Amino acid sequence: MVNERQFGDAHAVAVAVCGVGVVLARLRWPAPALGAGTAATAVTMVAEPLSPTFVLLLGLLMYNATLHTTHRRSWLYSIGVYTLLLAVGLIAHPDLWWNATSVFTLFAWICGTGAIGDAIRNRRALLTEMAERVRQAELTRDQEVRRRVMDERLRIARELHDVVAHHIAVINVQAGAAGHVIEQHPEQAGPVLEVIRHASDNVLREIRSVVGVLRDPGDPGNAEPSPSLTRLPELVQGLTATGFRIDTHTDGDPAELPAIVDQAAYRIAQEALTNAHRYGDGQAELVLAYTGERVTVEVTNRLGRPRPGGSGFGLLGMRERAAAVGGSVSAGPTTDGRFRLHATLPTSSYELESTS
């Protein structure tokens, strides 16, 4: 009697120690803990049909193991543990295990806890993937916003340069001439000062127009007419009023251009003529050519006396404008001592769509 009691106490202690050990180890080593728990349960089943303590323990270990592994291994764990325990039960206690109730109950408990762990793991993985997709979408959106902001800043900077540089160059040239005229021929200073006043009025008006559009782009009352080649005579007239001679030629039949190409062509012509006025010898030649699906702008002038070098933003801006519509700009000295700028822009909708 004493030996049986001592054996029972020792068995209970062993079960408790084993249970506590595998429970503590399950978080760090889920698969080994499941293996140890399964082995302990199988050994215990030889002496008794199935300990309720080990049944609960195996459910916890199975849930934990399938929670930290793959879908395939989850079912391998479940089927493997179930098959092993069923085989031990049928061999050790065939009279108790050889019935559908015991077989199904063991299957439902072992495979059920494994399926729960597998389902929760899949749900966590799905939530993690969804959170990552949201993060990537927000990152992509932020990058797109930053790109659009930078594009808009570049557009504004280019527009302000085109608007201001032309008129400031005119004012600069005329102010230099005014100093000489006032000293030598004061009576002729009036027309020169009038050109300066007119140029300053123009630059202020165009700056107000740009600022007005930026403040309220939906208000058409803020906007001046869009720059286009139809305003080219006005540009030429303003420059010739300063004494700058411009010979203008048009080849081909002027065609209606897409708005973005029309604006780019005007701004390129404006910048090229401004540079010719500033760095040339007082005269330039402007040629517009319409050839099928192309429009070309060419400005040629002889170089005047050397002046301090510019920033180079004007030529860069012209090239960027041309590239934005699928065109190109080439500029440089010619063999006869002249400076030539040649811009080619596409006019067909197909080519424009391919660059957008």
pLDDT at residue number 248: 93
pLDDT of residue 24: 54
Q: Express each pLDDT in 242-280 by its tens digit.
A: 788 999 999 988 878 888 888 889 989 988 998 888 888
Q: What number of H helices and E strands is found in the chain? A: 11, 5
Q: What is the pLDDT of residue 298?
A: 95
Confidence of residue 8 (pLDDT cuts 50, 70, 90): very low
pLDDT at 201 over 90: no
- CATH no. for 228-356: 3.30.565.10
Position with higher pLDDT, 224 vs 1: 224
**Alpha-carbon span 119 to 125, nearest angstrom:** 10
232-to-62, 158, 226, 340 alpha-carbon distances in Å: 82, 19, 12, 19
Q: What is the pLDDT at residue 269?
A: 92
Residue 112, C-beta contacts closer than 8 angstroms, at least 6 positions apart? none
What 8-state DSSP symbol labels residue 292?
T
Burial string for 43-76 (b: 16+ CB within 10 Å, else e) reads ebbeeeebbeebeebbbbbbbbbbbebeeeebee
Distance CA 138, CA 332 (A): 46
What's residue 163's pLDDT?
A: 63
In this structure, the number of other CB atoms found within 10 A of the CB of residue 259 comes to 11
Weakest-pLDDT range from 46-55, 82-91, 134-143, 261-270? 46-55
Model pLDDT, residue 160 = 67
Q: DSSP assignment, residue 224?
A: P
- Percent of the chain predicted with pLDDT > 90: 12
Is pLDDT at 117 greater than 60 in this prediction? Answer: yes
Cα–Cα distance measured from residue 192 to residue 244, given in angstroms and rounded to the nearest whole number: 12
149 contacts 255 by C-beta, under 8 angstroms? no
Tokens of residue 171, six digits: 């004012």
pLDDT of residue 7: 42
What are residue 306's phi and psi, to 5 degrees?
-60, 140
Query: In this predicted structure, what is the pLDDT of residue 4?
Result: 44
- Which residue has better confidence, 70 or 11? 70
Domain boundaries, the chain: 2-137, 228-356
Q: Average pLDDT, stretch 305-319?
A: 67
Checking if the pLDDT of 352 tops 70, the result is: no
